[in-house]
């Protein structure tokens, strides 16, 4: 018997430490994918490990109707750290669940059904979130999906504003598209989205599943633009490897969220991991570190491209969320990086090498990646 959903890679991982993973044969791998930005503080971070062990000795789970100190602490932390006034928190187990909740909350609060999403956008693989995801390859085997979703071009403020009307429940945007190829939104585009939704009485939802918690150089990517949403979704690195998602909403959304829930909402062990992760991110200014190292990494890739005439078209992104647009197939490059150089990264489509390393990587790690990348492309 074996798993049948994932295409397993020929690398069996046994352990991890910081920015590195180790195979059962002892091979060391520099991890510049962090399992799609999940290992935000790196592997086996001592603060997270200690928090999980302490909580597991006291209580592993009790459902969210019963207050538990670590869950209450996490509600307060997320509410305090949220951009603007979106301090109402619902906890779940993944990013797609967080987006499903956001979709339901927005429809319930507005009494409307129309959802506007973007071309190239990715919001998850469950039936509601999948309906807001652009690529047909993810959707076609499972149709029909949830209805009344309209797609507009990402970055086109005029098209977005025209699409938002009195029937719109919500606009879903990634401040930086991840799966779509690492495309940051211009500040003016996010401002237009804010103005259009406010005028129509619709909810503005920022999907910060991948961009949030310091990844782009600020705690939340939307903070760099100074635009506050009505709903923000988070997951990936929120508990440094344990499964958690969060949907943060404004008061007017929380007043009428509809009937929603989850058996495993805010499990104590996962909450303990999330509290330790958030404390470390804030106390050690991890977003500032990500901004500095990300700028260095981007510059070094561009320098190597010029010096060695590498087949790279563009390097784009923010902080430690970078995409390298290559002239040849990204998947082949990634395979050669892993097998011949011991470096792990991710694709974002057929021509983009996606970098989502742990936010604690250093300039030395950046140099190690650039050397390996240049070697493979040469």
Which residues define the annotated binding site for pyridoxal 5'-phosphate?
95-96, 122, 207-210, 263
What distance in Å separates the CA atoms of residue 78 and residue 75, rounded to the nearest whole number? 5
User: If you search the block for the tokens 């059904």, which residue do you land on?
Assistant: 113
The answer to whether 311 and 377 have CB atoms below 8 angstroms apart is yes
First vs last C-alpha separation in the chain: 41
What distance in Å separates the CA atoms of residue 271 and residue 164, rounded to the nearest whole number? 37
Q: Which residues are annotated as a binding site for substrate?
A: 125, 262
Q: Which residues are annotated as a binding site?
A: 95-96, 122, 125, 207-210, 262-263
Q: Within the chain, how many helices (H) and strands (E) appear?
A: 14, 17
Hey, CA dihedral for 345, 346, 352, 354, is it positive or negative? Answer: negative
**Residues 6+ away with beta carbon under 8 Å from 8:** none
Phi, psi of 43 (to 5 degrees): -85, 140
Supply angle C-alpha 32, 37, 38, rounded to 5. 120
Which residue, 221, 210, 376, is CA-closest to 287?
221
């Amino acid at each position: 018997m074996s798993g049948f959903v994932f295409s397993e890679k020929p690398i069996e991982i046994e352990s991890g430490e910081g920015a590195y993973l180790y195979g059962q044969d002892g091979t060391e791998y520099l991890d510049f994918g962090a399992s799609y930005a999940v290992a935000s503080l790196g592997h086996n971070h001592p603060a997270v490990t200690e928090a999980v062990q302490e909580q597991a000795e006291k209580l592993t789970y009790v459902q969210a109707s019963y207050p538990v100190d670590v869950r209450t602490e996490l509600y307060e932390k997320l509410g305090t750290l949220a951009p603007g006034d979106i301090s109402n928190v619902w906890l779940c187990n993944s990013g797609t669940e967080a987006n499903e909740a956001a979709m339901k909350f927005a429809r319930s609060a507005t009494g409307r059904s129309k959802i506007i999403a973007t071309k190239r956008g990715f919001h998850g693989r469950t039936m509601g979130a999948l309906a807001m995801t652009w690529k047909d390859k993810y959707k076609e085997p499972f149709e029909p999906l949830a209805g009344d979703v309209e797609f507009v071009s990402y970055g086109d403020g005029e098209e977005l504003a025209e699409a938002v009307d009195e029937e719109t429940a919500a606009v879903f945007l990634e401040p930086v598209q991840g799966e779509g190829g690492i495309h940051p939104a211009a500040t003016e585009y996010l401002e237009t989205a804010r103005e259009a939704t406010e005028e129509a009485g619709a909810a503005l939802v920022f999907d910060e599943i991948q961009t949030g918690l310091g990844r782009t150089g600020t705690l939340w990517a939307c903070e760099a633009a100074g635009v506050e949403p009505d709903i923000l979704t988070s997951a990936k690195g929120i508990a440094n490897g344990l499964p958690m998602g969060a949907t943060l909403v404004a008061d007017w959304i929380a007043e009428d969220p509809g009937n929603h829930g989850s058996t495993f909402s805010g499990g104590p062990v996962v909450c303990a991991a999330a509290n330790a992760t958030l404390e470390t991110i804030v106390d050690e200014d991890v977003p500032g570190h990500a901004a500095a190292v990300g700028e260095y990494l981007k510059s070094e890739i561009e320098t190597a491209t010029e010096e060695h005439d590498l087949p790279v078209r563009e390097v784009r992104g923010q902080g430690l969320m970078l995409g390298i647009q290559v002239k040849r197939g990204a998947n082949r490059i990634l395979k050669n990086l892993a097998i011949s150089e011991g470096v792990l990264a991710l694709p974002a489509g057929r021509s983009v090498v996606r970098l989502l390393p742990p936010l604690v990587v250093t300039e030395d790690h950046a140099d190690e990646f650039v050397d390996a990348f240049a070697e493979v492309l040469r």
